C-alpha cells in the first residue's frame, strides 16, 4: 500500500476550467482569460532576454528583484513590501503554509475561489466558510474571527460584485489572524485595498498578471504586505520560483500602464454592453467588476444553457454547486465574440 498522508489520500483535487485542444475552433469564455494579447513590450523583453539562449543555462535572479522593484514603483511601496510569485496561487498556498499549521483553521466566503479549500487540505488545515446574504453581505460573521487566515476574493469570483473599502477595513479589525484580499480581478474594478496594507498590519493583498495583463500562460503573481510578512513568504517559496523569461515579461508588462488601461477599458465597455443584452433576453445579471459576468437564464437552468452553448462551440463556466448551478460565469471576450454569444443565447432561448 502506498503510504500517502491521510489528508492527501482523502481530498479531492481542484478541477480547472476545460481547455480544448483545438482552441481555435471555440469561443473560449470559461477561464477568464483576457481576449487581447499582452503588451508588445512583453515579446520584446522575452526576445531580448532569450538572445542566443546563453542566459537560459544560468539560474534566474532568485528574488525577482527587477520585477519587485517595478511593482513597488507602480504601487507606491518599498520593494521590501512586495514579493513576486509563480502565479498568485503560489502566494495563496504559501500564506497557508506560513500561517496555518495542521489542524488550524482558515476561512473564506462561499461562493468564491474554491481552490482555497484544496490548498488548505494539502496543508492539513481545517476549513470554515461563510455564506452570503441576498445583499451580498457576509452571513453570520463573528465579532472576532479567530482563525489563522481569512480569504476575501474582491471582486468576488464567480459572482463579480465588490466589497467597499470601508467594509474591508472594518473586516480587518474583526479578523484576529491575517486578512488576505485576493484581488485577481481588481484592475477591472473601481478601487482596491492597497491603502489598507499600510493602515492594517494584518492585511495582505494578492494580485495576478493572468487576467488584466494577459499573461495567464506565464504564471505570474505578486503580493503586497508588511515587510515581516514578505520576509516569511520569501523563506518558503521555491528559491528559483520565476524563470528568466517570466521575470522579463513581468517587468515589461507592469511598466506599460497605458496599454493595460486601453485593454481594461475595452473589456469594461464590452462588459456593460453584454450585460445589457443579457437583460434584454431576461437573464438575471449581477453587476460585475471583473472581466466576467454571472448570468442566470429565465428558467434558472444553467446546465441546459451550458450544454447548448457547448454544442455551438462556445465555452462558458458551469458550476454544479447548488448555490451556483442556476447560472453561468461568462468571461468577457472581444465584442465580436460576445455578439456571437448573444446570438446563440437568443437562439437557445
Say whether domain 40-256 belongs to CATH 3.40.50.10490: no
Q: Report the percentage of the chain scoring pLDDT > 90.
A: 91
C-alpha cell at 60: 534566474
Tell me the three state secondary structure of residue 46: helix
**How far separated are the first and last CA of the chain, in Å rounded?**
52
CB proximity list for 334: less than 8 A, separation 6 or greater: 35, 36, 270
Domain locations in the chain as residue ranges: 6-30+258-348, 40-256
84 to 151, 177, 208, 249, 277: CA distances (angstroms): 19, 22, 10, 12, 39
Digit-coded pLDDT (tens) for 207-259: 999 999 999 999 999 999 999 999 999 999 999 999 999 999 999 999 999 99
pLDDT class of 16 with cuts at 50, 70, 90: confident
Question: How many Å apart are CA 337 and CA 315, to the nearest integer?
Answer: 11
The confidence score (pLDDT) of residue 55 equals 84
Longest C-alpha distance within the chain, in Å?
59
Residue 4 is predicted with a pLDDT of 81
Flag whether pLDDT at 7 surpasses 90: no
Output the pLDDT for position 53. 81
Mean per-residue pLDDT of the chain: 96
Q: What percent of the chain has pLDDT over 70?
A: 100
Q: Cα torsion for 297, 303, 307, 308, to the nearest 10°?
A: -20
Task: Please give the pLDDT value at position 6.
Answer: 78
Residue 203, pLDDT score: 98
Q: Judge: domain 6-30+258-348, CATH 3.40.50.300.
A: no
Nearest residue to 72 via CA among 230, 291, 219, 211: 230
Three cell numbers written together for 270: 464590452
What pLDDT, on the 0 to 100 scale, is given for residue 3? 84
Report pLDDT digits (tens) over 97-148: 999 999 999 999 999 999 999 999 999 999 999 999 999 999 999 999 999 9
Answer whether 182's CB lies under 8 Å from 153's CB: yes
- Spatial distance between the Cα atoms of 328 and 324, rounded to a whole number of angstroms: 8
To 10 degrees, the CA torsion angle through 236, 237, 239, 241?
170
pLDDT value at residue 20: 83
Q: Which three cell numbers stand for residue 155?
A: 471582486
pTM reported for the whole predicted model? 0.95
pLDDT at 226: 98
Residue 5 vs residue 344, higher pLDDT = 344
Digit-coded pLDDT (tens) for 309-338:
999 999 999 999 999 999 999 999 999 999
Amino acid at each position: 500500500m502506498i503510504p500517502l498522508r491521510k489528508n492527501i489520500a482523502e481530498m479531492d483535487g481542484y478541477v480547472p476550467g476545460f481547455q480544448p485542444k483545438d482552441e481555435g475552433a471555440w469561443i473560449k469564455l470559461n477561464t477568464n482569460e483576457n481576449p487581447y494579447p499582452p503588451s508588445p513590450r512583453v515579446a520584446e523583453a522575452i526576445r531580448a532576454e532569450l538572445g542566443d539562449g546563453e542566459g537560459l543555462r544560468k539560474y534566474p535572479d532568485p528574488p525577482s528583484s527587477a520585477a519587485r522593484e517595478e511593482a513597488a514603483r507602480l504601487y507606491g511601496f518599498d520593494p521590501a513590501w512586495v514579493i513576486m510569485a509563480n502565479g498568485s496561487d503560489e502566494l495563496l498556498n504559501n500564506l497557508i503554509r506560513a500561517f496555518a499549521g495542521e489542524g488550524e483553521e482558515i476561512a473564506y466566503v462561499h461562493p468564491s475561489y474554491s481552490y482555497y479549500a484544496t490548498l488548505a487540505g494539502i496543508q492539513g488545515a481545517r476549513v470554515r466558510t461563510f455564506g452570503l446574504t441576498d445583499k451580498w453581505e457576509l452571513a453570520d460573521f463573528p465579532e472576532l474571527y479567530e482563525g489563522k487566515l481569512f480569504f476575501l476574493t474582491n471582486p468576488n469570483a464567480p459572482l463579480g460584485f465588490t466589497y467597499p473599502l470601508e467594509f474591508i477595513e472594518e473586516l480587518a479589525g474583526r479578523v484576529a489572524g491575517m486578512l488576505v484580499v485576493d484581488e485577481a480581478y481588481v484592475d477591472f474594478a473601481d478601487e482596491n485595498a492597497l491603502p489598507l496594507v499600510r493602515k492594517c498590519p494584518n492585511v495582505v493583498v494578492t494580485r495576478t498578471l493572468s487576467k488584466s495583463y494577459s499573461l495567464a500562460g506565464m504564471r505570474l503573481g505578486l503580493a503586497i504586505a508588511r515587510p515581516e510578512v514578505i520576509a516569511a513568504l520569501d523563506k518558503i517559496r521555491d528559491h528559483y520560483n520565476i524563470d528568466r523569461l517570466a521575470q522579463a515579461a513581468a517587468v515589461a508588462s507592469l511598466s506599460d500602464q497605458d496599454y493595460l488601461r486601453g485593454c481594461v477599458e475595452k473589456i469594461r465597455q464590452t462588459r456593460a454592453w453584454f450585460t445589457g443584452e443579457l437583460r434584454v433576453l431576461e437573464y438575471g445579471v449581477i453587476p460585475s467588476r471583473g472581466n466576467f459576468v454571472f448570468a442566470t437564464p429565465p428558467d434558472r437552468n444553467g446546465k441546459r444553457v451550458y450544454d447548448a452553448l457547448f454544442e455551438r462551440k462556445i465555452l462558458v463556466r458551469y458550476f454544479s454547486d447548488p448555490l451556483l448551478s442556476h447560472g453561468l460565469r461568462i468571461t468577457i471576450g472581444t465584442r465580436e465574440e460576445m455578439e456571437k454569444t448573444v446570438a446563440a443565447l437568443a437562439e437557445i432561448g
